[in-house]
Amino acid sequence: MSSAKTRAPKSRPLEFALAPVDNTLLANLCGPLDENIRQIETGLDVVIRRRSERFSVSGEKAQLTVDALRHFYALARRPLSVDEIQLGLVELTNAPVRRIAAAHSPVDGPQLITRKNELHGRTPRQVEYLKHIQEHDITFGIGPAGTGKTYLAVASAVDAFERDLVQRIILTRPAVEAGERLGFLPGDLTQKIDPYLRPLYDALYDLMGADRVAKLYEKRAIEIAPLAFMRGRTLNHAFVILDEAQNTTPEQMKMFLTRIGIGAKAVVTGDITQIDLPKGQKSGLKEAMEVLHDVRGLAFTEFRKEDVVRHPLVARIVEAYEKRHQQSS
């Protein structure tokens, strides 16, 4: 069986059998209607054929696929979700297989205190990013969508708050998206702003729970506001995140960075390939990368398509756009 529509590979298929043979483990590995097998095929760009416990794998990543199938089979004492398969593929692709071959192997990098106990860096750059955030007062996370820039920054903010390292969490974004402006949106100012800040709310709800976020928001221990609201303030003992920073102007970026006060920590995230500023307007994030890269005390993590932790197709979409950009430039 195979649901992947790919050309037949030229290399000879790898054939192997899973042991010990257990129909329950095989059912949990394959998932309903072999959905997990389809996810592995899509994620690794291979063709998998199976007859009971015997598998045949074709494609450039055939050996990695064999390692992945054995890895997931060892975890299949219970049904495996699509999320577990996709996240597991990210780890297997980006880390030495020997490090995660065991079902409960230790995870490298900082462990964060959030509602999600299993949260950790899943690629070497994500681990580096988390370390940079803990070791520096200002950290830049730059790269394509799906690499965890914002989510891990919010997780680090929650971790710092739970450890009493900061007194407040402040999340901010410029209110510029895909050419739209606030004046064209319906409603009052709060209703206009809310859609731009929704991804930050979603991350907090996931990491702290909606009820706790609401209570902390009422106490002003959590603040989510557009970047323009930061002007004139000094942010002491706070963990401050500037998201979508590619849509700041150089003046806005300088304004934000100079808000950082005593006992504060800041993370700036953005994707310089998705700038929505008016044509001819330079991005504050791009200028900051040029001006501040050698400033001591700051850290930069530049993510790549290999760090995408979303649906397996996202990494290929990013790669396709990168190739098109290189051809046109």
In 3D space, the residue among 6, 101, 98 whose CA is nearest the CA of residue 44 turns out to be 6
- Residue 119 lies inside a defined structural domain of this protein: no
Residues 189 and 301 in one domain: yes
Residues 144 and 243 in one domain: yes
- Residue 291 lies inside a defined structural domain of this protein: yes
Residues 129 and 92 in one domain: no
133-157 per-position pLDDT tens digit: 999 999 999 999 889 999 999 999 9
Name the band, by pLDDT with cuts 50, 70 and 90, for residue 180: very low
Residues 27 and 140 in one domain: no
Residues 66 and 213 in one domain: no
Cβ contact 92:75 at 8 Å: no
15-35 per-position pLDDT tens digit: 999 999 999 999 999 999 999
Mean pLDDT over residues 302-326, rounded?
A: 80
Spatial distance between the Cα atoms of 280 and 309, rounded to a whole number of angstroms: 32
Name the band, by pLDDT with cuts 50, 70 and 90, for residue 108: low
Name the band, by pLDDT with cuts 50, 70 and 90, for residue 119: confident
37-96 per-position pLDDT tens digit: 998 998 888 999 999 999 999 999 899 999 999 999 999 999 998 888 887 887 787 654
169: left (phi over 0), alpha (psi -120 to 50) or beta: beta
- Give residue 271's domain range: 124-328
From 74-83, 158-167, 285-294, the region with the lowest mean pLDDT = 74-83
- Residue 222 lies inside a defined structural domain of this protein: yes
- Residue 108 lies inside a defined structural domain of this protein: no
Residues 282 and 317 in one domain: yes
Residues 81 and 143 in one domain: no
- Residue 50 lies inside a defined structural domain of this protein: yes
- Report the CATH number that the domain containing residue 260 is assigned in CATH: 3.40.50.300
Residues 69 and 137 in one domain: no
Residues 88 and 148 in one domain: no
- Residue 228 lies inside a defined structural domain of this protein: yes
- Report the CATH number that the domain containing residue 47 is assigned in CATH: 3.30.1370
pTM: 0.70
Spatial distance between the Cα atoms of 60 and 10, rounded to a whole number of angstroms: 9
Residues 129 and 90 in one domain: no
- Residue 284 lies inside a defined structural domain of this protein: yes
Within 10 angstroms of residue 304's Cβ, the number of other Cβ atoms is 15
Spatial distance between the Cα atoms of 39 and 45, rounded to a whole number of angstroms: 10
Residues 181 and 317 in one domain: yes
Overall domain count for the chain: 2
Spatial distance between the Cα atoms of 129 and 303, rounded to a whole number of angstroms: 9
Residues 219 and 278 in one domain: yes
- Residue 111 lies inside a defined structural domain of this protein: no
Within 10 angstroms of residue 2's Cβ, the number of other Cβ atoms is 16
163-178 per-position pLDDT tens digit: 999 999 999 998 765 4
260-269: buried (b, 16+ CB within 10 Å) or exposed (e) per residue? Answer: beeebbbbbb
